[in-house]
């Protein structure tokens, strides 16, 4: 198979013999033996060039995939006991990255001093292929793609406000009541002025007129703690503030279904050791975090 693939890729028997460092006669014998074994002509030979037959073209496509799999399997075995090394790139939302990814990243780098990391923390969806990322953390439902995804938890979208604000302005009892309140909108979580809820099994949406619009979740949380109004954030972002009663969650009965959190990557099971080991490490850590798996 390797000899046949080399003849096809190099465009001739002589070129394949030079690539494989064997004699032209050995190349010819190998291809003839393969054709006899298969009972089909794979190549049309002329004095000037070599061309596929229809059967040869189909066989080459299958052979190429097999040879790639063999090479990947060999590399995986060679790397199985190798120390991770090289540069690894990861992307995640800003606040999630600061709270969850960076502690894992720092610990991983201390364990493996030969690994360099690039952390691209942005509140937008990064294209792993176009931007050269190895691993991504995605919050929300994933579109169909060729990427691999491992679920590590889920988060809720919660409405919260400070006790002082709720005491002064009252606590909304249903989503429609929000139109009478001071709204803090974070474009990182709620880019639209319509907030979506669930009333029983029916979807419900309410158009908002925010008093304050900010571009970061930290800023929205700070405004809510500062008694300015009601903010909509993800549960992990306000976990500590809820625990310390700095903010209260409201309208829990109207929340939509939680959003899943995935570790997304391009690697298969035979991928590089640094990527595979980091994925295993961060998946284990995120799944153990009660803020993502209450």
* pLDDT computed for residue 260 by the predictor: 95
**33 and 167 co-located in one domain:** no
- Cβ contact 31:43 at 8 Å: yes
CATH number of the domain where residue 57 is located: 1.10.10.10
Angle among Cα 228, 230, 236 to the nearest 5 degrees reads: 115
Residue 223, domain member (yes or no):
yes
CATH number of the domain where residue 267 is located: 3.40.190.10
**161 and 250 co-located in one domain:** yes
**177 and 212 co-located in one domain:** yes
Residue 294, domain member (yes or no):
no
Which residue, 79, 105, 134, sits at the end of a domain?
A: 79
**39 and 181 co-located in one domain:** no
Predicted confidence pLDDT, tens digits, the chain (294 residues): 899 988 888 888 888 888 889 998 998 999 999 999 999 998 888 767 788 888 888 898 888 888 888 877 776 666 655 678 888 999 999 999 999 999 999 999 999 998 999 999 988 887 887 788 889 999 988 876 677 899 999 999 999 999 999 999 999 999 999 999 999 998 766 656 788 898 887 889 899 899 999 988 899 999 999 999 999 999 999 999 999 999 999 999 999 899 999 999 876 554 567 788 899 999 999 999 999 987
The helix/strand/coil state of 216 is coil
**60 and 102 co-located in one domain:** no
Cα dihedral 166, 167, 168, 169, rounded to 10, equals 40
**244 and 211 co-located in one domain:** yes
DSSP 120-173: EE-SS---TTTTT-SEEEEESPPPP-S-EEEEEEEE-EEEEE-HHHHHHH---S
**65 and 33 co-located in one domain:** yes
**141 and 190 co-located in one domain:** no
Counting the structural domains of the chain, the total is 3
Query: Parallel, antiparallel, or unpaired for β 50-52 and 43-45?
Result: antiparallel
**138 and 271 co-located in one domain:** yes
Residue 292, domain member (yes or no):
no
Residue 280, domain member (yes or no):
yes
* pLDDT computed for residue 190 by the predictor: 61
Residue 293, domain member (yes or no):
no
Residue 46, domain member (yes or no):
yes
**126 and 46 co-located in one domain:** no
CB neighbour list of residue 140: distance below 8 Å, 6 or more residues apart: 259, 260
Tokens of 174: 């249903």
The phi and psi torsions of 89 (rounded to 5 degrees) equal -115, 135
pTM given for the model: 0.66
Q: Which long-range contacts (CB under 8 A, 24 or more apart) does 220-228 make?
A: 220/184, 220/185, 220/186, 220/189, 221/247, 223/184, 224/160, 224/161, 224/162, 224/165, 224/184, 225/162, 226/162, 227/162, 227/164, 227/165, 227/168, 228/165, 228/182, 228/184
Residue 204, domain member (yes or no):
yes
**12 and 52 co-located in one domain:** yes
Which residue, 47, 79, 111, sits at the end of a domain?
A: 79
**278 and 226 co-located in one domain:** no
Domain extent at residue 125: 86-154+260-287
């Amino acid at each position: 198979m390797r000899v046949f693939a080399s003849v096809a890729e190099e465009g001739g028997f002589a070129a394949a013999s030079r690539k494989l460092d064997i004699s032209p006669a050995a190349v010819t014998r190998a291809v003839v033996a393969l054709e006899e074994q298969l009972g089909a002509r794979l190549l049309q030979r002329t004095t000037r060039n070599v061309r596929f037959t229809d059967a040869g073209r189909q066989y080459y496509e299958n052979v190429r995939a097999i040879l790639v799999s063999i090479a990947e399997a060999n590399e995986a075995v060679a790397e199985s006991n190798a120390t991770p090394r090289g540069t690894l790139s990861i992307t995640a939302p800003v606040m999630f990255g600061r709270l969850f990814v960076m502690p894992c990243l720092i610990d991983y780098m201390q364990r493996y001093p030969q690994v360099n990391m690039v952390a691209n923390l942005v509140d937008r969806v990064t294209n792993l292929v176009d931007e050269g990322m190895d691993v991504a953390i995605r919050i929300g439902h994933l579109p169909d793609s060729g990427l691999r995804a491992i679920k590590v938890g889920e988060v809720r979208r919660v409405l919260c406000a400070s006790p002082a604000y709720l005491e002064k302005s009252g606590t909304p009892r249903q989503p429609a009541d929000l139109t009478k309140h001071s709204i803090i909108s974070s474009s990182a979580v709620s880019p639209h002025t319509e907030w979506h809820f669930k009333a029983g099994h029916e979807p419900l949406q309410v158009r908002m007129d925010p008093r304050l619009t900010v571009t970061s979740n930290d800023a929205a949380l700070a405004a809510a703690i500062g008694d300015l109004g009601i903010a909509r954030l993800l549960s992990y972002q306000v976990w500590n503030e809820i625990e310390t009663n700095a903010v209260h969650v409201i309208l829990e009965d109207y929340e939509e279904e939680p959003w899943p959190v995935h570790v997304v990557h391009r690697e298969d099971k035979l991928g590089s050791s640094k990527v595979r080991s980091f994925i295993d490490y961060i998946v284990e850590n995120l799944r153990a975090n009660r803020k993502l798996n209450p």
